[in-house]
Amino acid sequence: MELYFEILLDNGSKYVAAAEDSLNLNPGDYCVIKKDFYTDYGQVVKQVEKPDPQNQQNSESSMGETYVSKSQETPHIQRKATVVDQGKTNENSMRAKSALRTTQQFVERLNLPMKLINCHYAFDGKLITIQFSAEGRVDFRELVKQLSQEFNTRIELRQIGVRDETAIIGGIAMCGRPLCCAAFLKDFASINVKMAKEQDLSLTPSTISGICGRLKCCLKYEHEGYLELEAGMPRRGDCCECKEGRGRIIDRNLLTQKVVVQLDDTNRTVTCPKEEVTVIYPEKYKIQKKDRNEGGNNNRDRNNNHNGKHPHPPKNNNGGND
């Protein structure tokens, strides 16, 4: 019986591979995988369901659960890794570091606008995978040609986004905890500035942006909860009445469900629960609105008189015949 496992490589890439249940693989075990024309070495992350061929798009990815493409066969786990396999993998890691330094020299020589992230040697050395980030698309065909001649093996260059780069490198967030993308986050949800506004957060870029320079992923976590809390809350600038008198709302706290009211008569500020505050329209607004309406009616009357019949009968120009 075949089982399917998610495999993690040392460069952060993941893919799904099949294995016989007789191997007794568990999360955390290292194994040797047969993939296309080469063999690879990775760690078992977890057991997954059989991938659906109709939804298979990418062969590998730096983040999330990925599956093999339609044109490729499912990678197959050959065996659990032995001590000898581990030793060979350590040698490949040293070769990958050396290859990354050499690649950097070629990049500088060709003056390519790309930032190298890491390098991965296949277990049998038949493939070198180099991940990089860049602002836009980079034409690296000449670089691949020169690297193939230098290392005498197949080269694969893979461009990743800044969020994937941050997830691979890791770090400490502003909250003092490890980055979510490096610790547990698998999929990057769509995030926009509107989410920060609806949570009453400061829109300063340094406050709402993460280490990667993009909006923080955690803005999505409690967004739906803030929408529920905001549903019954008055907005800043609303005129209201409370126990202390009439005033205007200058601040609010969605979590505590309280608002800060500045009183009209004394300019004193008081904090009240939202249940004790009633939003109203001030009388002066009604008066101004009434005045504007009356002014508009008078203007319309004048326009009607101007455009209608003349109030005095026209003079008779047939002079002298009366």
Residue among 136, 143, 137 nearest 103 (CA) = 143
In angstroms, the Cα distances linking 299 to 277, 288, 295, 311, 319 are 40, 16, 6, 18, 38
Q: Are 208 and 224 in contact (CB under 8 A)?
A: no
CATH number at residue 137: 3.30.300.20
pLDDT tens digits in sequence order for the chain, 322 residues long? 789 999 999 888 889 999 998 999 999 999 999 998 999 999 999 999 888 765 554 445 554 333 333 346 889 999 999 999 999 999 999 999 999 999 999 999 999 999 999 999 999 999 999 999 998 888 999 999 999 999 999 999 999 988 888 888 889 998 899 999 888 887 788 889 999 988 888 888 888 999 888 999 999 998 999 998 888 888 888 898 888 888 999 999 988 999 999 998 888 999 999 888 888 875 554 444 445 455 555 555 555 555 554 445 545 544 444 4
Domain-embedded: residue 309 = no
3-class SS of residue 61: strand
As for how many domains the chain has, the answer is: 4
Last residue of a domain, one of 33, 53, 81: 81
Tell me how far apart the alpha carbons of residues 221 and 235 are, in angstroms, rounded to a whole number: 23
Domain-embedded: residue 308 = no
Q: Is the pTM of this model over 0.85?
A: no
Contacts with 27 (C-beta within 8 Å, 6 or more apart), sequence order? 44, 45, 46, 47
